[in-house]
Structure 1
Amino acid sequence: MEDACCEGMKMVAMRLAMKVLIMVVFLGYISILIMMPTNTFYLRWMPNIRSKTQSTYFGQQGASLLIYAFPILFIATLGAFYSHLGKRGVDRSDSRVQGRSCRYHSWKMPALVKGPLGIVSWIELAFLAMFSALLVWSFSSYLHAMFANVAQEAIQERERVWDVKLDSAALLLGLVGNICLAFLFFPVTRGSSVLQFIGVTSEASVKYHIWLGHVTMTLFTAHGLCYVIFWVNTQQILEMIKWDKVGVSNVAGEISLLAGVVMWATAFQRIRRKIFELFFYTHYLYIIFVLFFVLHVGFSTACVMLPGLYLFLIDRCLRFLQSQQKIQLVCARVLPCQAVELNFSKSPGLSYSPTSTVFLNIPSISKLQWHPFTITSSSNLDCDKLSIVVKSEGRWTKMLYETVSSSSPVERLEISLEGPYGPPSTDLLRHDMLVMISGGSGITPFISIIRELLFTANTASHKAPRILLICAFKKELDLAMLELLLPVSGTNLDISCLHLQIEAYVTREKETVKDDQELIRTVWLKPNTNDVPVSAVLGSRSWLWLGLIISSSFAIFLVLVGIITRYYIYPTERDSNGIYSDASRAALYMVFACVCIAASATGAFLWNKKQSLREAVQIQDMKTPPTASPVARVDDGDWELESLPRQTLIQTTNVHYGERPNLKKILLGIEGSSIGVLVSGPRKMRQDVADVCSSGLISNLHFQSISFSW
């Protein structure tokens, strides 16, 4: 017991030391970004660093790799080891951890509820303000430095002062845009150790990518237009078709900007939601955008955005490797509300937190489209299955529902999966009560939470919080979604320990429409020897392996860069008395980076795949499913079900017809020292709940919005 306690204290001490070191390195990196636009950085610091780092092995980009790339990749590596130690040494069910009050409760409350940015917390608003201040500072510093001697430069160049100012403004817009680009790829790196370290999920961070994308493309578009206007005014229009061997390549920049503008134009909310496929496919132009951006500015300048791109490429490679496996679909529950629950075989070693998500691809419907879905199962309660719910709302989901629910359903459905991705922990047990508010299919994140708390209430020593589930549906048929609160295989756990109360609202029907509702049926699918259970892409020690991939791939990349520079590029320049093309150098280095990432990620994936296959062998072959499917039906709002857990679930459910929940009245009437308020559903519902929680009328509400609509 004492040895375990000492080991736990050592874990905590190591994590604390790592956290401090990460914060110190991050502050140093931010200091570099702040100093970048100043003469002190360019005239004193950078030349001094280059004089000490420049060699025949790395050349000028050695300083850029050291200053811009190394700190962030070091943070990502250390963050991965930090998460690994946390997964090993921290018991997330410890009441002392879960029972702590939230120190930053007021900072996490909504600051902005309505507006173009959506629901924004105070801490998000603070970071947004600091980032905006960084951009304004960089713009003003570059402007001051470039305009200081503009009159003298105009005389030397024999140009008008206005034209010289336009040239300088175009350049500084591009430099400020590089700062935005440096952060652009972090939010869309799903398995990011950086996001894991700061406690932000990939779903929640997508909005940051959208914000950064708009700002980045605004600056880059203005950068390109200013140069076009400058070339037209100074009669240098032929500059648009120049691809210089040294320095900036204009043609590459124009190709990159064109690809970026096409992505930007299709990423606005109206187009993204109404014509999702157009948005989805055009976003693959990011490959052209990034490639020609690097060729445009050169590898040394591109090092500013290299860390985010590097981590994104690692994540993208791992996702590709995982997606090549075909996942075993065990069964599907078909609901009368045109929804279907898909139940996959899961590796016993796979664990995930509630509200986690997976991305699904079904080649028979679309070979390229990947769609995110919330996991409705609990890794503790459902040891051998992973479940998701798909509501038939769009073209892709309708085709899936029709395929599964047809009178002659397919015997096997080929499915690829990426994930799971989710928070390190949900920390729900610190609340006295949880109020979960959902609209329509927004109930799916709460299914996983309720299943997890059901397991906790029956197995843990401490008390689970009381739960109030408020769910609004359009039609009575949608009430069948409540059937999914329990697994398809049922449960022997006592649901009365959960203290669950369900208030269901049917908004568009005043009374029961039909006496005989459609039945919920289960469709069993035949297993295939080539299908595998869902497992973590890098096994149970995924964070440790991710840290090794980041560090080893970058180390190999540096070795290859040193070798190719010293024994190929440097001799070529020396023998020909010339300069090696910057574009060729940049392309060569990008190829090396991709090769190193692919080799390291593939090696780690194959090693862990062997371990996962050994676990899969231990899973017993599934028994032949019964020919009669378990069914449920709804009559006058009462559920005719057999098992005791389902009967208990019926007793805790109140159905209200023809009305909407009065959320303000409900929330203000709840008593408790700490009330966790989670909302998932339409934007208007989320805004209404956020407005009540941020009004200050009651101080014990802890707000959290769960949104998967981009």
Structure 2
Amino acid sequence: MDEHSAQEQLLLVLPSVNLEKKCFFLSSLKWILTIVTWLIFITWVVLAFLFPLNLTYEFILSATSFSSGTFLGLEGPVFLLFSGPILLIAFFSIPYLIISGKDQKVQEKKAPSYRLCTFPLLVDGPLGVVSAAEFIGILLFAVYVVWCIYIYAIQNLSSVKDESPFTTTTQKICYILDIWGFSLAQIGIILLAFLFIPIARGSILLRLIDIPFGHAARYHVWLGHLTMLFFTLHGLCYVIEWSLQGDLLKKMLEWQESDTANLAGVIGLTAGLLMWITSLPFVRTKYFEVFFYTHQLYIIFVIFLALHVGVIFFSIVAGTIFLYMLDRFLRFCQSRKTVDIVSATCFPGGIVELVLSKPQSLHCDALSFIFLRVREASLLQWHPFSVSSVSGTGEHQFSILIKTFGEWTQNIEENISNFSAVIELYQDGINLQSPFRMITASVEGPYGHELPHHLMYEKLVLVAGGIGISPFLAVLSDIFHRKRQGKPCLVKNILVVWAVKTSNHLSLLSLINRNFSNIEVNLDILIYVTQQSQPPLDEEEGRLVEFKATNSFVSPVYKGKTMSVLVGTGNNNIWFGIYLISTTLGFIAVVYLLNVFYINPKDLSLGWYHGLLFVICMVVSVLIFGGLVVGIWHLSERKMNGEDHQIIEHNEIEHPTADKDCLSQDLYTSTTIRYGSRPDLQEIFESISERWGHVDVGVIVCGPPALESSVAKECRSLNLMRTKHYRPIFHFHSHSFSL
């Protein structure tokens, strides 16, 4: 009997022991991958700092001369030194994210502490709100630029002294301009290697460090200004030099066979200047389409950069450009697929809710956003929108809110109104497919954080301005859904501060999942209606506006056309890893074959032609090897989602807005509405600081830059003046997105 009991106890203990061993193994593997990745990244940064030195330049020249005529080609050593590390980091990111996905869970409660990435250090400068971690990154780039200028200044001064006496002052000035133009170009090349990392929307590198594209886009803006400044100064140096020599036009049109192609540089710089000028705030905000379409000149910029600098210098930036090409190709394939609009609803105040179809396998976080194209509004325009619901609309659907600001959004609202009227004429089931086929949507994404940081805090403050409430509706619904399902969620207290112009926007709160009365979450909603001094006659102060849809419809023809899972944060990392590795190896194989069977036998040494062939190899490898993997991936996706398709078709589609004419009593009791005033953020945050005690408080803001800066200022002020240890630590997060 005792022996039998001992065996039973042993059998019960073994699964937990195996689980602990598995967790320990995964945790150890993550640490190893982290250390290796950091070592590679530090090596890459050190190489960038060593790049201006004569010793590095001489090493590159000797290495390229040694590899010339071999399978490595002229570009081999430079590509391995400067592009190889970033590709290796991308490779190691795949197993890291796969392990993190299996081990993804809400962190346990820890002692409150400051974090560099959530501490707002600068709040009122031209760069907007800058965290302490971002400030360190800015300082590193500033130090690098100063370091490069200092090294080149010393080298150039020494070079001028070593030269034989110039016969004229003009010759000396031209010589100085020539060597400084070359030096400025080298700095620009290194900066360009970083420029393409933050602009890749589904970048594996951004996912590795958990920075969503909406936040990383401004890094691209900062780097873009800095890079174009150096390239412009580079071009200006040569323009002045050629003007002093009296052959400006001749030099600008020169296309040398075995040296730098000047005309290619002029074309590339012109494309870069057009992108730079149209990206400035006064152009981008007023003429967004001009900015958007002009920015497509990056293709011209990259191609003519390769023609201008040749294969050796282009190999420095080839790694990050190649990763961007991989991301762009995936996004192109994803956006070709048409997505069903399950339902559409027009809210008061010019707000439209679209419910879109998605496969069950697609992960969509509460703070995710997508890029949407509606062909009836525009064939080319893509616009970003925050996801407003991920749990409340079911496993096969998610919703977004669109505020009618301009022509594009007004076209969508008009189409919905027209289609709603037409559908009413077909209530008898005759030819129902005709009207709905007129609405077609394409989706890119979703993009967002790799980990749901809104679930990591016991106390949560959500500050919204206007339509900025949209992502917080998803956050609230997600938290309530997780609480009901018993899923990990640390949140216990939520304060929502919402500033709107008029009260007709308040009906959006009806989108929150209504059944949360038995959930252990304390919810307080403070609403400030800024442009109304008192409530309308049919309302009572402090009460919510009940929702009355102006126009709405449920799709009469719902075929289960869901969005693709090719791109999206937290989705199939295994397939993406196969795509990345196979395409990279394919690219290396194509370059190898090109060197062995074409370049070396013909002894080609043309700088611009060799650079063009290198770019063609990149494009061919993405289209052939990447296209093959994407095709297999797509077939696997269709097979996996075939069961989802059957589930959707054989069950009645629930109208997401069918039960919004009445609001939850819990929302009435949790909400306070104040008319004719703006939120006093200082008073609100000081009250929180007094009441909530020594905890980490997550503060998420979605709204205009002025609101974001004001909230960041309060968080910084309370954190810096925190003398009492029982006060909370405020962690600032921004969900605002602007291109």
TM-score by length of 2: 0.88
Give the alignment of 1:458-469 within 5 angstroms.
458=484, 459-460=486-487, 464-469=491-496
- For 1:408, the equivalent position in structure 2 comes to 421
2:498 match? 471
Q: Tell me the distance in 1 between the aligned counterparts of 2:36 and 2:379.
A: 44
Answer yes or no: is 1:39 the counterpart of 2:54: yes
Q: Which aligned pairs between 1:294-309 and structure 2 lie closer than 5 A? A: 294-309=306-321
Identical positions, percent: 30
Is 1:706 aligned to 2:735, yes or no?
yes
Q: Which residue of 1 aligns with 2:404?
A: 392
Which is further off, 515-524 or 8-17? 515-524
Aligned-partner residue type, residue 678 of structure 1: I
Out of 708, 711, 724, which is 1:686 matched to?
Answer: 708
* 1:669 alignment partner, SS class: helix
Q: How does 1:88-107 map to 2 (within 5 A)?
A: 88=102, 90-93=103-106, 97-101=107-111, 104-106=114-116
Q: CA deviation at 1:543?
A: 2.1
Q: Classify the secondary structure of the residue corresponding to 2:241.
A: helix
Q: Distance in 1 between matches of 2:518 and 2:213?
A: 32
Q: Distance in 1 between matches of 2:109 and 2:472?
A: 21
Give, in angstroms, the shift of residue 674 of structure 1: 1.9
Which has the larger displacement, 156-165 or 350-359?
A: 156-165
Where do 1:116-265 residues align within 5 Å? Answer: 116-153=126-163, 155=165, 160-237=171-248, 238-265=250-277
The equivalent of 1:483 in structure 2 is: 510
Q: What is the deviation of 1:463?
A: 5.0
One-letter code aligned to 1:416:
S
Q: CA deviation at 1:478?
A: 0.8
- Cα RMSD (Å): 2.3
**1:356 partnered with 2:384:** no
Aligned residue in 1 for 2:725:
none
Q: Taking structure 1 as reference, are residues 525 and 434 closer, same or farther at Cα in structure 2, changes over 3 Å only?
A: same
Q: Say which of 677, 696, 703 aligns to 1:674.
A: 696
Query: In structure 1, what is the Cα distance between the partners aligned to 2:214 and 2:654?
Result: 38
Match of 1:443 in 2: 469
Match of 1:330 among 327, 338, 342: 342
Which residue of 2 is the match for residue 2 of structure 1? Answer: 17
What letter is aligned with 1:571? P
TM-aligned CA deviation for residue 321 of structure 1 = 0.3
Amino acid at match of 1:467: I
The one of 538, 542, 545 equivalent to 2:572 is 542
The aligned residue for residue 576 of structure 1 is none
Q: Is the 8 Å Cα contact of residues 347 and 615 (structure 1) preserved in structure 2?
A: no
Alpha-carbon spacing, 1:455–1:657, altered in 2? closer, same or farther (3 Å): same
- 1:583–1:495 CA distance, 2 compared to 1 (3 A): farther
Gaps of 5+ in 1: 574-578, 634-639
Q: Against the structure 1 CA distance between its residues 461 and 441, is the aligned structure 2 distance closer, same or farther, given a 3 Å change threshold?
A: closer
Q: Distance in 1 between matches of 2:23 and 2:527?
A: 44
- In structure 1, the residue matched to 2:682 is 664
The aligned residue for residue 637 of structure 1 is: none
Which residue in the other structure is 1:523 paired with?
Answer: 553
Determine if the alignment matches structure 1 residue 507 to structure 2 residue 530. Answer: yes
Aligned length: 685
CA distance in 2, matches of 1:582, 1:56: 17
Q: Which runs of 5+ in 2 are unaligned?
A: 1-15, 423-434, 540-545, 723-727
Instruction: String of CA shifts for 1:510-535, please: whole Å, max 9, x gaps.
Output: 22335397712541123354x62134
| Preserved contact between residue 257 and residue 608 of structure 2 (Cα < 8 Å) | yes
CA distance in 2, matches of 1:654, 1:423: 31
TM-score by length of 1: 0.92
Report how far residue 107 of structure 1 moved.
Answer: 5.4
SS in 2 for 1:233: helix
Q: 2:655, 2:115 → 1: CA distance?
A: 52
Name the amino acid aligned to 1:119.
V
Amino acid at match of 1:110: P
Are the equivalent residues in 2 in contact too, given 1:110–1:121 (CA < 8 A)?
yes
Q: Is contact 2:265–2:305 with CA below 8 Å preserved after alignment?
A: yes
Counterpart residue number, 2:41: 26
2:385 matches 1:373: yes
Shift of 1:550: 2.2
Task: Name the CA distance, whole Å, in 1 between partners of 2:270 and 2:635.
Answer: 44
3-state DSSP class of the match of 1:29? helix
Q: How does 1:109-120 map to 2 (within 5 A)?
A: 109-120=119-130
225 and 495 in structure 1: CA distance in 2 versus 1, 3 angstrom threshold: farther
- Helix, strand or coil at the partner of 1:182: helix
Contact between 1:147 and 1:168, CA under 8 Å: does it hold in 2?
no
Counterpart CA distance in 1 for 2:596 and 2:88 is 25
AA of the residue aligned to 2:239: V
Shift of 1:627: 10
Is contact 1:331–1:522 with CA below 8 Å preserved after alignment? yes
8 Å Cα contact 1:329/1:343 also seen in 2: yes
Give, in whole Å, the separation in 2 of the partners of 1:104 and 1:354: 24
